[in-house]
Amino acid sequence: MPEPVADKLLSWYDQNGRHDLPWHHDRNAYRVWVSEIMLQQTQVTTVIPYFQAFMERFPDVEALAGAPVDDVLSHWSGLGYYARARNLHKAAKQVVQEHDGKFPADQAKLESLTGIGRSTAAAIVAQAFEQRATILDGNVKRVLARYHAVPGWPGKTSVLNRLWECAEQHTPDKRIRDYTQAIMDLGAMVCTRSRPACESCPLYSGCEARALGEQKLYPGSKPKKDKPEKTTWMVILEDSQGRVLLERRPPSGIWGGLWSLPELDPAYQPEELPDACERAFGYDCSQPELGSGFRHTFSHYHLHIQPARLSVASTARVADNGTHQWVHRDDALSLGLPAPIRTILTTPQEQP
């Protein structure tokens, strides 16, 4: 009888797995949860410094729940997918208010918290509470799709359901914490997306995709769509005190809840920007100094950003409020800013 997948994975993990990631230390539910949310669609090497800084600022769920959302977003700046940070903050409040500051060990109760899905809840149950639970993150989907030669894109319900069946089939009753880490590590370190190291894989002999010589066909790719191209002016309005005007984004959508620079219709010509600013904000501005434009890619479209700096004669007619705020550049960097805005504000100004 062939050795079970779990046994092979655990033997490999004991010798080759990652045992010293920051969230492996003091592995409580809070730390596991934050790491799992950060690791969604983000590489471990990118997450590590963010996780460490986040834990230093928000060492427990009470600290996170009691912090201003701007503080949370500022510690997320650069990680992208900012809805994760807003959901993290909301869920922390739920844990404090509804569960007395203690994460429930029950998977269904965890799934009721904002931003926690089936696989994340299972990871918390397995990693923090060492109870049997089945995970299916991106790395695990790739391992199982190849091992069982499951055709199709995992975003399709029928394919996802089949992968859940496979995941459940292989999840052991013992060493559940190590097993969940082992199968994630295998996907991240060996069964990689573009260049799988099949000769180093403990599941080599039983892998159906490898036997077919078609590892790269599994899992199936998401149907491609051409990303639309969009363009915007981002205006750096600066007053006589050296402050810039920031504008809070709507709570949902791209960069939701973050502070950004005001945007203007890309149809304006550069010489029309002062009049456009007067109509939008109600004061006189100088002729613009244009910065270097660049393209930023979102999941659904490309955005061409053209920065323009304008000096503002007076800020008397635009008071600080929930939507707009005058902030010195250095102070702005402590707020929740999207990475492109942070880049614009930290790029040295060209001298005339």
Residues marked active site are found at: 36
CB 128 within 8 A of CB 29: yes
Please give the helix or strand (H or E) that residue 273 lies within, else none.
Answer: helix 273-281
Q: Are strands 259-260 and 294-297 parallel, antiparallel or unpaired?
A: unpaired
The contacts of residue 254 (CB under 8 Å, 6+ apart) are 298
Count Cα atoms within 13 angstroms, Cβ side, for 285. 28
**Do the Cβ atoms of 298 and 306 come closer than 8 Å?**
no
Greatest distance between any 2 Cα atoms in the chain:
81
Name 157's Cβ contacts closer than 8 Å, sequence gap at least 6. Answer: none
Exposed e or buried b per residue across 92-102, where buried means at least 16 C-beta atoms within 10 angstroms of its C-beta: bebbbeeeeee
List the alpha helices (DSSP H) in 148-218.
157-170, 176-189, 208-212
Distance of alpha carbon 86 from alpha carbon 94, whole angstroms: 13
Looking at the DSSP bridge assignments, the partners of residue 245 are 326
What phi and psi values does residue 143 have, to the nearest 5 degrees?
Answer: -60, -50
For the chain, the distance separating the N- and C-terminal CA atoms, rounded to the nearest angstrom, is 77
11-38: b or e for each residue (b if 16 or more CB lie within 10 Å)?
ebbeeebeeebebeeebebbbbbbbbbb
